[in-house]
Structure 1
């Protein structure tokens, strides 16, 4: 069997990796979407990512064994009772019902198909995109990328079990067209300066931000226009370039996940708006630094970087799931947009440039 080569990126897929990773994900995908205590299990997704970055079957097996052992990734809790169309909504955010919600959505996918199931249920799930700190979205996006119907059902069940939405606010007419404007507008708000969250979990921070009245006033303001994902993608890239923070990393990768899922979502702009509100909630966590200016960004775009194959190889060798996630999404978004800043940031993340 010949190796597959992405000529544009110069990344060679191992000839046996694609078949091997499907078997691994089918097996590993049966484990819970989270590991103790309520941290996102990235494994099914990053195995696909490093496969596409050139990992060998041996590296895939090695990393899977490492991840499961290092994080004590469990199987989901026992089933309690079957859920139906009439009652599943009552268990949104109930982690103890992960198996029941998985079973419900897996059955719906078997009846409707993955794309139709996403389209039918996303209007109800979209507001809870903060589920497991947006990793429900990640799992769904990779399932869509792989065209894996079984994983689509599992991902929707995981999203539902960890569903996290901001409190409902009075309906307002959206009045902001630029996502970055909402970011900048948060600076100087006293109630964002000393947010206290006892947990280190990212989704607990998001949840706490949702209780702050000044933050609630910013909800529902971004206009869900047809080009909102393009604008969110750009703002996410700038935020990450200026901070290289863990939180902003998820804005860049999340923009990629939204691009993968959006063709299957009836009202994709609404989902994007909900996602950007999650990003806004994380801005105070990184200290609300000023966004970099156009001149600095232009200089960054001119920096020489190693070839994509070298960036990919560095990610494959790493045991950090966020290296895998960021590098894969950044290279994919570079190919989609042509913006060289993605390659610069991927190389910087991997320590290949200063």
Structure 2
């Protein structure tokens, strides 16, 4: 399905970073590193990532401080659990997917980073974690991406431990039917499957929905069909932007930001297309949660792309003023992806997210 979502764009203003924000961020993110990657009940702690996003969007040190206090208070973000038992190379996999071992896994990866450095540790261990990219609803990937953005060795160890503790993988399947290079083809094919409609769960957690989808035979049949070929991430980026522009849903928001995270992580591992393919299957599972809507045609996308948007500075200021972590995350990722790819639809979805255009 060729939706032709690329286009040219012109700059619409600039963001000025506060000269003291970097210093403040180092202090805040180091303090946050003493807390768990999740808060009650099993929700992802976005704080270290969104503070970095806010800082790069122009937040003052005072605003960063204010938001950190707000977030920790509102969500009662806990400190790390007590360690259970030290882990070593021979047995760290026994703790995979066990939240009670978060501290042990963090300590293990912190030790690896201290011995080998962040890049080598990622190259050694991340491929083992690829299938479990749904960890904490993909926020393990987010935390690692921001650690790399910051060039923060401590956060690299923390993020790998967090990803490992919350590891969530689909069953290994080779889906029936011929593979298709267009990632939207298997997504839209889901519309005809009755078992994907009207799913109700006792939990509202995103990762619980992802986990449930992995138990459905019809969804298992879709797994393994997207081939990890060169250029896959670019195709996923385009598809994700279409999906979010069409639905503006919480779930599809994570598809746009997730492509940004994959772009940051991919240069640090071999066979990054395998990680991208696993990640897209998570996005596919969430398509069922948003009701499997039809997607817009090329003409509609072009009309959206042509919409006038406020300046970058105005969009960034609106995001920084918000207390919704997904506003900071989406706007920052959209700006970063626009900077690389130049698609004006990124500016449109960012302005819409913070209520500056309809």
How does 1:242-281 map onto structure 2 within 5 Å?
Answer: 242-281=246-285
Alignment partner of 1:330: what SS? helix
How does 1:304-343 map onto structure 2 within 5 Å?
Answer: 304-343=308-347
Alignment partner of 1:133: what SS? coil
Where does the alignment leave 5 or more consecutive residues of structure 1 unmatched?
1-6
Distance 1:105 1:203 in 2: 24
Give the TM-score, by structure 2 length.
Answer: 0.95
The corresponding residue for 2:109 is 105
Deviation at 1:122, TM superposition (A): 1.3
How far does the alpha carbon of each residue in 1:83-116 deviate from its partner, in whole angstroms, 9 at most, with x for none? 0111111111100000000000010011111111
Deviation at 1:298, TM superposition (A): 0.3
Matched, 1:87 2:120: no
Distance 2:262 2:296 in 1: 24
* Native 8 Å contact 2:334 2:346 kept in 1: yes
Matched, 1:303 2:307: yes
Distance 1:9 1:121 in 2: 41
* Native 8 Å contact 1:174 1:222 kept in 2: no
* Native 8 Å contact 2:129 2:167 kept in 1: yes
Alignment partner of 1:219: what SS? coil
Cα RMSD between the aligned structures? 1.3
The corresponding residue for 2:235 is 231
Distance 1:74 1:300 in 2: 42
Alignment partner of 2:357: what SS? coil
* Native 8 Å contact 1:105 1:154 kept in 2: yes
Alignment partner of 1:290: what SS? coil
Distance 2:177 2:87 in 1: 36
Matched, 1:49 2:33: no
Matched, 1:16 2:27: no
* Native 8 Å contact 1:164 1:207 kept in 2: yes
Larger mean CA deviation between 272-281 and 174-183 belongs to 174-183
Give the number of the structure with larger relative contact order, counting CA–CA contacts within 8 Å between residues 6 or more apart: 2
Q: 1:126 aligns with which of 126, 130, 151?
A: 130
* Counterparts in 2 of 1:110 and 1:347: CA distance versus 1, 3 Å: same
Deviation at 1:168, TM superposition (A): 2.1
Distance 1:262 1:337 in 2: 16
Where does the alignment leave 5 or more consecutive residues of structure 2 unmatched?
1-10
The corresponding residue for 1:115 is 119
Deviation at 1:181, TM superposition (A): 0.7
Q: 2:148 aligns with which of 136, 144, 157?
A: 144
* Native 8 Å contact 1:300 1:341 kept in 2: yes
Q: 2:43 aligns with which of 39, 43, 50?
A: 39
How far does the alpha carbon of each residue in 1:166-193 deviate from its partner, in whole angstroms, 9 at most, with x for none? 0122587971211011111111101101
How many matched pairs?
Answer: 348
The corresponding residue for 1:29 is 33
* Native 8 Å contact 2:38 2:45 kept in 1: yes
The corresponding residue for 1:3 is none
